[in-house]
A and B are shown apart, each in its own frame.
Chain A
Amino acid sequence: MDQPVVSRGFRSKRRTSGAAELPPGQYLTTDFPVLSAGPTPDIRVADWNISLQLGGTLLGRWTWDEFEALPQTTIKTDIHCVTKWTKLKTVWQGVTFDDLLRVVGLDAPPNAFIMAHCDGGYTTNLPLADLIGGRAMIATRYEGLPLAPAHGGPARLLVPHLYFWKSAKWLRRLRFMPKDEPGFWESRGYHNYGDPWREQRYDGD
């Protein structure tokens, strides 16, 4: 729509103090809302493992203790949820996807896409280009503390430059794919890629 319709009488209650520029349609929040399609699974780290899969081959599988022993990285980043909240300067710790590839002896990703599989049946698809080069990690700590179950603990994907549904909670398996396939939300009306700066919320955006 070229001519925006001014909403008579609508005034911003925000933007009072040089707020950081947000992606279009987003607003700032200071708490950490929870969005999930179903119940939060009850996962004990003693029973937990995470695997990296290429076709029928398991490239790696780590128990909790093994995963904790991998190189750890801490990042500070803004996160953007498709439901329109943005949270600034969140601090995460985990294993970068680059380090995970190194650990299994891969110099370069074998496929161009990946599907993340999670407890509870959730999936999300991502291009490899968005996971490497320090752009993504498997996070196990938030603000210095173990990741709470409601926020995806014990481990979630963190791909902060895309809408937050791509940062799949309760991550258990990463599967390389030669061709892109839609994941859970991507099959249910949400955008296949999800760039907040281009406001790719829904299919066709």
Chain B
Amino acid sequence: MTAIDAPQLRSRIEWQIGRVQAIVAETSRVKSIVLQPTRWPGHRPGQHVDIRLTADGGYRAERSYSIASPPAEHLITLTVERIEDGEVSSYLLDELQIGDPLEFRGPIGGHFIWNQAANRPLCLVAGGSGITPLMAMLRHRRASRDPIPASLIYSVRSLDDIIYRDELDAMTDGDADLRLVYALTRACPGNWSGHRGRIDQLLLAESSFAREENPLFFVCGPTGFVESISSKLVKLGFDPLAIKTERFGPSGE
């Protein structure tokens, strides 16, 4: 192969050691881990990192976690949900302490990323911990001087399972261009005036945008959830190429 034919070589995304700066309990099953990276080139909302754990005997495990923090922050926030029998999530939730090192590399991913300059209404649809990369988008949007219209439709089992609930509710205060809809699939308080049950086509139609507004969709959650939402959006007539998806499991972790 001649030099002219040689593919452009880009530098490897190297492993590095982050220090745990803070651990925040989000729900009974979810914590956020705030990391101080050694070096960080900056990320785009929606990207993820890989983390790598090494046991005493050399056994290693790697997993991917979406970044919840916006690009403007120099600390990186990962949000971790407990997976039954998950060796990595149980370590991160039960063993990891403030000050501990955590090996990771990133940022990774070039598709499920939001480019604010696209200047199209943003419709985010989250199932459970699928909110994480979408939160990076909302936090990034909040920091902009002239935020574009956005909508978050967030499906969780119960009110107590809503991750970032206070921050999300605060975001909508004084921001008429941000719509926030919770869908509670299992347990609703008696006085619940929001959506009960799974996200259906009607809720998607009412809570997103008109086709003419040319919205961009980001859908993240468990596989069945993403399959269901994305096919409903296509049935509603939205452009399949405007629907970006990221699926979390089920994968036995």
Contact = CB atoms under 8 A, between A and B. Distances in A.
A188 interface: yes
Contacts of B234: 39, 42
A44 interface: no
Given A4-B58, A120-B240, A10 B95 contact: yes
Contacts of A192: 7
Given A25-B62, A39-B240, A6 B85 contact: no
Interface-centre pick from A25, A34, A204 (highest chain B CB count, 10 A): A34
Contacts of A83: 64, 251
Interface string B19-61: 0000000000000000000000000000000101111101111
Nearest to B238: A39
A38 interface: yes
A10 to B, nearest CB: 5
A28 B152 CA distance: 34
A150 B227 contact: yes
Nearest to B16: A1
Contacts of B10: 203-204
Contact of B243 (A14, A38, A180): A38
Nearest to A7: B53
B110 interface: yes
Contacts of A1: 14-16, 103
Interface string B214-253: 0000000001000100110110000011011101011111
A10 B55 contact: yes
B101 interface: yes
| Chain A residues touching B, range | 35 or more
Given A10-B54, A11-B55, A40-B231, A202 B245 contact: no
Contacts of A7: 53-55, 91, 95, 100-103
A153 to B, nearest CB: 13
Interface string B74-102: 00000000000101001100011000111
Given A12-B55, A202-B108, A25 B247 contact: no
A187 interface: yes
A35 B247 contact: yes
Given A85-B251, A120-B240, A8 B60 contact: no
Given A7-B54, A37-B245, A12 B251 contact: no
B247 A33 contact: yes
Contacts of A13: 85, 87, 90
A42 B102 CA distance: 42
A34 B52 contact: no
A31 B87 contact: no
Contacts of A187: 110
B188 interface: no
Contact of A24 (B53, B60, B249): B60
A192 B10 CA distance: 11
B227 A40 contact: yes
Interface in B1-23: 5, 7, 9-17
Contacts of B17: 5
A56 B252 CA distance: 46
Given A6-B56, A12-B59, A27 B7 contact: no
A38 B95 contact: no
A10 B12 contact: no
A71 interface: no
A8 B95 contact: yes
B111 interface: yes
Interface in A101-144: 120-121
B250 A33 contact: yes
B91 A9 contact: yes
A36 B243 CA distance: 11
Given A27-B253, A189-B109, A204-B13, 10 more contacts: A1-B103, A7-B103, A8-B100, A25-B61, A34-B227, A39-B231, A39-B240, A85-B251, A188-B111, A189-B108
18 contacts: A5-B101, A10-B87, A27-B61, A39-B230, A40-B231, A41-B240, A83-B64, A85-B251, A121-B241, A150-B223, A182-B7, A187-B110, A189-B108, A189-B109, A202-B12, A202-B108, A203-B12, A204-B10
